[in-house]
Structure 1
Amino acid sequence: MKLAVIAFTQKGAKLAARIAAAMGGAVPYAPREYTGAGVNPMGGTLAEWGEKAFLEYDGLLFVGACGIAVRAIAPHLKNKLSDPAVVVVDECAQYAISLLSGHIGGANELARRVADTIGAQAVITTATDVNGVFAVDAWAARQGMVIANPEQIKEISGALLAGRQVGLRAAFPVVGALPKGIVTNEAPECGICVSLNSRRQPFAKTLLLFPVILHIGIGCRKGAGEEQIGCAVRATFNQHGFSMRAAADVSSISLKAGEEGLLAFCRAQEKPFRVYEAEALMEVDAAVSASGFVKDVTGADNVCERAALCSAGPGARLAVPKTVIGPVTVAVAAEQWSVRFDER
């Protein structure tokens, strides 16, 4: 987590520096008169700092009153999926209060970590935590899953808090003991579905979670445009019911490292673009749709399938084999992955 720590008094600045040093990589701030010893000047007003920090950091830790934190962040709040974690610590280091994005943003866990670091008491107020009930959104965040329909979180949490069962359907192996109230062999009204298929709705009220484990391999003719590549990928994903939110990256052969259409597509989708030398692609031990012509031109007998498998890593499988759409070839590989309940 990229963390900023801000304080407003000399005593608070010393605590901010202490926390930042202990948290590893955190950046402490304070008004200029309290800087020094590694504490950076806040620069401008609190409102200006809050606006910039809200966009730049994954977590904000205020050393001071809750009211100061609320005023600093209030104009910038968007939603629980994107807002950073916000924690408040009093300058006497008695309490670490989770204020915003307790589950998905990780503020509850951050508050606990800070409390352990400075000998404070963590203050957590989310209903599932205080009642000792499984928090599906926090679990999904720890698993690196995307929540397709966050409006269903309250249905899951509400059912568990009321003592009702919640179903689970998963297209992956399930590791670890199921949390209390989660069942796999019954069909209650609401439930959790972990799948790569964006159309799955096995319950009347389904919370759909996507693991981000799909890797897109692309081959294309020289000069293929962003729109052509985008249309090919979208058509492939739509055909198989995949969501682009489940895609981790895009990959190809090193010959395509400067292909502007590919680069523009990756920028538009905000996905990393990875390239591999032909020799590395040929080392992939998998059955692929080999082409002698492609090998003569590129040095690899298949670009899209091999590139996707390279990015997906050991144990990966081809979820979509080579698909030709106009001047573009698309393949999709899925990482080896499990639904895990054996973490904290």
Structure 2
Amino acid sequence: MFHWDLPQALHEEIGGWLDRRIIDYFVDYARVLFQNFGDRVKIWMTFNEILQICERGYSDGNFAPFISNPGIGGYECTHIVLLAHGRTYRMYNEEFRASQNGQIGMAIDSYWHEPNYPDRETDQAAAEFSLQMNYGWFVHPVFVGNYPQPMIDRVREVSLSEGFEKSRLPEFTQEEIDMLHGSYDFMGLNQYSADKCYWAEDGAGSHPSHWADVGVIGYQEDDWWKGVPWGLRKLLVWIKDNFSNPPILITENGHAQDGLEDYDRANYHKGYLTELLKAIHEEGCNVIGYTAWALMDNFEWRGGYTIRMGLFYVDFDDPNRARSRKLSSYVYNNIITTRHVDWDYYPDWPPTVEWKSN
């Protein structure tokens, strides 16, 4: 329903996702969607990547609407977005579920946070805290009720040490906690990679920010850019163990690579789907579906048309946006057709018959 496309008027007139009045506007918008499409659309996501909407848009100012208010704006935005999600879910239950029988969730993005040294207790604690602060922030209110307690305690402690009179993290009322708790039929997961974590030596840092509140250094080794497939499995197991194994829909998972002969992307999907199968069949994770990002090359926000995530190549210089199959599309087709990850399968390349759409 909302993939960062805030109406300009709502930004100019009320300040967008920093004003609670937007909740009523969003619920009305969702009602229009259900009224017009709910007889056919059965899977809905209210919001895509709240971290990017709020932390990038209202805290560090790197995404639209480019508001810089570190350590405050992201928390205020997230609070209001979550309330809009919960209100929409309850409205659907009251007005549409009986007749439409759809499912509602959110799509939340998260890395897997691996301890820098897996056997070191301090690194284990840093990785766990990072998961609570960067993933639990958005799902704990829905799965359990309220923000994670370690997050509540940490932001309050740091805020008071910075001279604030109260925590920079807003508080839910008990009525809001009850409304949010259980407001999901599934949870979407956008998952691309992983990092290694350890505590920052300077703790919270000198200026308010969410990342200073986390107080954890996360880094990637140079050869990790191709993906960390086992990170997906570990994250799914962590979600299962912490939140009673909720239904998870993998809503984004993919790799950027130029050209048609994209072996790296093909191997990325082979690796992640192999680990996904382990999560389901060996670990018992309740995964209900998987969608690769993306079907076609598309507009990748600040990266524009320069980052190519698609299984199909799009010629953006062609007025007709002609599409061509990449090698990875044949590999992915083989996987979903045979329902098996064949590490030995690659298509003859270049293909003897070129597939192209104008």
- Is TM-score (shorter-chain normalized) higher than 0.5? no
Q: Which has the higher contact order (CA 8 A, sep 6+)?
A: 2
Q: TM-score, normalised to structure 1's length?
A: 0.26
Instruction: Name the larger-Rg structure.
Output: 1
Name the one with the larger helix percent: 2
Name the one with the larger strand percent: 1
Q: TM-score, normalised to structure 2's length?
A: 0.25
